């Protein structure tokens, strides 16, 4: 259990985040937000792909708490992490999905930002193909962004484009699916070797975005993946015991953070003008699990998904799945994704958190550079 002092720190942080949300609503802190990653931040790109149903979220009961109870492709009951961080930066929600834009609408939108994220995708081009069908891997997301940069340069010139991109936030949340699939394949091979490749891939994409003009990066590290409903159910099926998270995948999740942190420090030393904010997501989620009820939040269910059947609600969220009554009391929405309430805490921590949870600076400080 975390100390009472730490609990007070987090409560103060979240209250600060709520105040920051109101302040940000009045002022757009950066010219644009560009989003890259997986289902944690996808706002509908997979709606336009030949993806399997588990890799899409454009049907009920997804979006039950979104405006009009409309499923949009967000893997959430409402707003996801990209939406809520964008709101703290002064935008109404996440920029729209890249594949939703037409030749006409992309021109005004690209100056405000675009979301390239794709549910089921990862750092590897192979990630997601087996279970999700068609996805947009990070390599293609960066390629799409390069085409946007080229269009901006054609219409506005290289100098204006470089200026806008250097002041914008580049938000990246990816890598979880690479780890999930590594374990689904049996975790064959050396974990250290896998993590070296994982970190090298992350570094290569940050460097590629930098070459295209990105300077300010907000990066989400890996959460305790073994505590998701899907992995709790996996532990139950393999070991026959219900309590606890799935240890091996949590160990790998935990080991990824210091390697990613060191890699980003090296990049910041190497690349002039690069600045970044990295969340310690393992510590953030572990803190909430250890402190489910504070003055700032109250989670009554930490293990099971709100939408889904079977052990831990891990068997599919769709039109026929049972739905919990108190969605704000659940940490998880479905087998793998947080509720809107949990994403709100994460966004506030990314935006205004102290060095326990985000370093070397938070996103608000990053925006002010």
Among all residues, which ones are annotated catalytic? 39, 334, 337
The DSSP secondary structure of 167-198, one letter per residue, reads HSEEEEE--HHHHHHHHHTT--S-HHHHHHHH
Return the bridge partners of 133, or none.
51
Q: Provide the token pair at 235.
A: 């532990």
Find the length of the chain. 369
Contact 157, 213 (CB under 8 A): no
Contact 114, 33 (CB under 8 A): no
Distance CA 295, CA 155 (A): 50
Distance CA 208, CA 202 (A): 10
Q: Going by C-beta distance under 8 Å and a sequence separation of 6 or more, which residues neighbour residue 123?
A: 137, 138, 174, 175, 178, 198, 201, 202, 205
Residue corresponding to tokens 């901006």: 152
Output Rg (C-alpha) for the chain, integer angstroms: 19
């Amino acid at each position: 259990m975390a100390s009472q002092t730490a609990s007070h720190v987090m409560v103060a942080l979240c209250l600060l985040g709520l105040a920051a949300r109101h302040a940000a609503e009045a002022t757009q802190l950066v010219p644009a937000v560009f989003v890259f990653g997986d289902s944690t931040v996808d706002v509908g790109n997979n709606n336009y792909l030949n993806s399997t149903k588990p890799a899409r979220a454009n049907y009920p009961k997804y979006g039950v708490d979104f405006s009009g109870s409309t499923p949009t492709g967000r893997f959430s009951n409402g707003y996801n992490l990209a939406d809520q961080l964008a709101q703290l930066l002064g935008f109404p929600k996440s920029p729209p999905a890249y594949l939703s834009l037409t030749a006409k609408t992309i021109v005004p939108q690209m100056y405000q930002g675009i979301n390239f994220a794709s549910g089921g995708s990862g750092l590897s081009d192979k990630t997601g193909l087996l279970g999700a069908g068609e996805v947009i891997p990070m390599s293609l997301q960066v390629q799409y962004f390069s085409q946007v940069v080229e269009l901006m340069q054609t219409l506005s010139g290289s100098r204006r484009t470089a200026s806008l991109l250097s002041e914008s936030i580049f938000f990246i949340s990816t890598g979880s699916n690479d780890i999930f699939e590594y374990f689904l394949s049996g975790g064959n091979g050396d974990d250290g070797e896998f993590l070296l490749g994982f970190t090298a891939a992350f570094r290569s994409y940050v460097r590629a975005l930098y070459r295209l003009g990105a300077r300010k990066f907000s990066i989400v590290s890996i959460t305790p993946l073994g505590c998701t409903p899907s992995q709790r159910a996996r532990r139950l099926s393999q070991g026959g015991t219900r309590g606890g998270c799935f240890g091996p995948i949590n160990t790998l999740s935990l080991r990824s953070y210091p390697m990613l942190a060191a890699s980003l420090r090296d990049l910041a030393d190497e690349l002039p003008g690069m600045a970044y904010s990295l969340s310690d997501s393992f510590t953030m989620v572990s803190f909430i699990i250890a402190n489910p009820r504070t003055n700032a939040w109250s989670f009554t269910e930490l293990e099971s998904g709100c939408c889904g059947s079977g052990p831990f609600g891990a068997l599919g969220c769709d039109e026929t799945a049972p739905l919990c009554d108190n969605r704000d009391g659940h940490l998880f929405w479905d087998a793998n994704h947080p509720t809107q309430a949990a994403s709100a805490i994460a966004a506030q921590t990314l935006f205004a958190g102290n060095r326990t949870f985000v370093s070397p600076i938070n996103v608000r400080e990053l925006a002010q550079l």
